[in-house]
Structure 1
Amino acid sequence: MASEPYPNSAGSAVPRDPVPADACDAHIHVFDARFEEAPGEKLTATPAHATAADYRAIQRRLGTRRAVVVQPRAYGTDNSATLDAIAQLGASDTRGIAVLTPGASDAELRRLHAGGIRGLRLTLHAAAGAPTRFDMLMPLAERIAPLGWHLQLHFQAAQIVAHAAVLRQVPCPIVFDHLARLPVGGKHAEPAFALVRELLEQERAWVKLSGAYLNTHSGAHGYADTVETARALVRIAPDRLVWGSDWPHATEEIHKPDDAELMDLLGVWVPDAATRNAILVHNPARLYGFA
């Protein structure tokens, strides 16, 4: 039988080991031509085919069931494409992370919650032109805390340190994207690592084990220099970690990663099967409110 096409993903093999039932891919984006991009927000080439239907093929390949759709920067604060993707992928198995500014109405927050949104993202690793700003962090946290939502932060390690005082005070959980963009190599003496550790140990933060290609100097085959950083996070707080593919890998315009290899990399980062199952099933169920 012919291989099924896998948009925005290299390779066609399935992961080496079957994933557990109800496994969650906690970080994907959807780009759908039916929805207009925000003027001036497009920083990278939007994938030509990265719809919810395309992602279904990735789910079948990986064996995952649940997903978290993260609002991409290209749509600014119009979360229509993300809400539509949640509905297409199934409200019981899909959640979303939106982008808003503090002026959003209470009615809008209620509407987003009903549509499956469970957090807000600030993507400020490259802050120029972003729809949100650092000074919005606390006002947004105060707006969403009563809803039980969290703030998802894509900050560079130096930015985490620069905003440490605010991060220690926010009244809602924090989710750090992509290994918290911590320096790789296994030294772990950096101020950013110390702050992330502090917040994890206080059960005030989570980290996504994702974005290996954003955090490596060793290249796509193996991502060897990410292993010790990921394992250090597992040693600190195995119950505060989730995994994400980052499909459709919008930052990787030429060479798309192999999503099955990224799932296999989780097995290298987390050799213990029980801990790996927690990261794929139980932890995201708690964080995102899956039944």
Structure 2
Amino acid sequence: MTNSLYSALADEAGALSRASRQWLESTDTAIEAIDSHAHVFVRGLPLAPHRRHAPDYDATLDAYTDHLRTNGVSHAVLVQPSFLGTDNSFFLDVLQRYPQRFRGVAVIDPSIDDDELQRLAKHGVVGMRLNLIGLALPDLREAHWRNLFERVNALGWHVEIHRDAIDLPMVVTPLLEQGCTVVIDHFGRPDPACGANDPGFRYLLTTAATGRVWVKLSAAYRSVHGESGTALGQTLTAALLDSFGAARLVWGSDWPHTQHRGLVDYDGSRDALDRWIPDASLRTIVLRDSARMLFRFSDRHDRHMTQAPTLRTR
């Protein structure tokens, strides 16, 4: 662990307000609503050598916890931000300290060893993310990827995809061929000029029949330019509900809305879901029930994650 990372972890742990600390440490953690997509980070963490951007602000656990508490969201899934690369230490520290509140989605390299995968799973990581925005598409049928997905499947993890809709067939198809559970970020990022008629988004709708694809209703603003994306999100949600049903959709705030902070805030992100799904019973399925199953939350009040699945010997 680098000195800068050790310092950041110590500073973050000591910076919680009393209200946040009490909420995080509470054993009364009945699942009411789950935010399936958020990031925490601070300046000074080691950055990935190849990155699209690097925020000049902090997204602290204390600030995020305040948003959760005031919006009635009881649990959350922390996703490793792309600019931190495969060093998952910062968000993993949060998972270790507050396993009753959080699960995690890590960024990993295909060369990761089994012991490290097992360690991540033990501390609440339930999936891996491929953020492919701005990158050349990898051949996910190559041997090193197939080996990784075999091990990820053995842990019961999902594979999370962030890529523009036009390329989803080339990414999702090989994952399904290899038996992966797939989660699509941010509505699948269709072209806003096409909306629900985007060919890649239409392909995404066909994958509902597999029963192994889930979609995050999150960050519609990443598919438009200079707008909140709420109207586009409403159109896309209607199509997704029709194909997938509420049971394989989850909601995410995408806090702190990196590169789009001027367009939306946490409250607006949460309020958008009420517009997209006005039916309270369906909204509860998306906010609570489907996310609880996908991200392997339970109503147990344990201070520790249940025993992680064991990797098969190859």
Pair in the same fold by TM > 0.5: yes
Alignment-derived partner of residue 45 in structure 1: 54
Change in Cα spacing, 1:250 to 1:162, as seen in structure 2 (3 Å) is same
Alignment-derived partner of residue 215 in structure 1: 223
Alignment-derived partner of residue 69 in structure 1: 78
Q: 2:63 aligns with which of 54, 59, 67?
A: 54
Deviation at 1:153? 0.3
Q: Tell me which amino acid in the other structure corresponds to 1:270.
A: I
**In terms of Rg, which structure is larger?**
2
> How many percent of aligned residue pairs carry the same amino acid?
35
Deviation at 1:125? 1.8
Structure 1 spans left out of the alignment, 5+ residues: 1-19
Q: Does residue 84 in structure 1 map to residue 93 in structure 2?
A: yes
Q: How far, CA to CA, are the matches of 2:41 and 2:288 in structure 1?
A: 26
Alignment-derived partner of residue 24 in structure 1: 34
- TM normalised by structure 1 equals 0.83
Q: How far, CA to CA, are the matches of 2:202 and 2:175 in structure 1?
A: 13
Aligned-partner SS, 1:168: helix
- TM normalised by structure 2 equals 0.78
Q: Write out per-residue CA displacement over residues 53-99 of structure 1, whole angstroms, 9 at most, x where no aligned residue.
A: 221111122210100000011111111012012234x2022100001
Q: 1:106 aligns with which of 109, 114, 121?
A: 114
- Across the two proteins, how many residue pairs are aligned to each other? 265
Change in Cα spacing, 1:139 to 1:195, as seen in structure 2 (3 Å) is farther
**Which runs of at least 4 in structure 1 moved beyond 6 Å after TM superposition?**
none
Q: Tell me which amino acid in the other structure corresponds to 1:46.
A: P
Deviation at 1:134? 4.6
Structure 2 spans left out of the alignment, 5+ residues: 1-29, 299-314
Alignment-derived partner of residue 128 in structure 2: 120
Q: Write out per-residue CA displacement over residues 215-253 of structure 1, whole angstroms, 9 at most, x where no aligned residue.
A: 235822x72233111111012221100000000111225
Give the helix-richer structure, 1 or 2.
2
Q: How far, CA to CA, are the matches of 1:187 and 1:59 in structure 2?
A: 30
Alignment of 1:196-207 (within 5 A): 196-207=204-215
1:102–1:143 CA contact under 8 A, matched in 2: no
Q: Write out per-residue CA displacement over residues 167-226 of structure 1, whole angstroms, 9 at most, x where no aligned residue.
A: 431312000000011234676444322321222222110000001211235822x72233
Q: Does residue 176 in structure 1 map to residue 184 in structure 2?
A: yes
Q: How far, CA to CA, are the matches of 1:47 and 1:30 in structure 2?
A: 13
Q: 1:251 aligns with which of 230, 255, 259?
A: 259
1:234–1:270 CA contact under 8 A, matched in 2: no
Q: Does residue 225 in structure 1 map to residue 232 in structure 2?
A: yes
Change in Cα spacing, 1:225 to 1:189, as seen in structure 2 (3 Å) is closer
Change in Cα spacing, 1:55 to 1:187, as seen in structure 2 (3 Å) is closer
Between 1 and 2, higher relative CO (CA 8 Å, sep ≥ 6) is seen in 1
Aligned-partner SS, 2:177: coil
Q: How far, CA to CA, are the matches of 2:218 and 2:173 in structure 1?
A: 26
2:104–2:126 CA contact under 8 A, matched in 1: yes
Q: How far, CA to CA, are the matches of 1:259 and 1:148 in structure 2?
A: 30
1:177–1:208 CA contact under 8 A, matched in 2: yes
Alignment-derived partner of residue 5 in structure 1: none
Q: How far, CA to CA, are the matches of 2:84 and 2:225 in structure 1?
A: 30
Q: How far, CA to CA, are the matches of 1:187 and 1:28 in structure 2?
A: 24
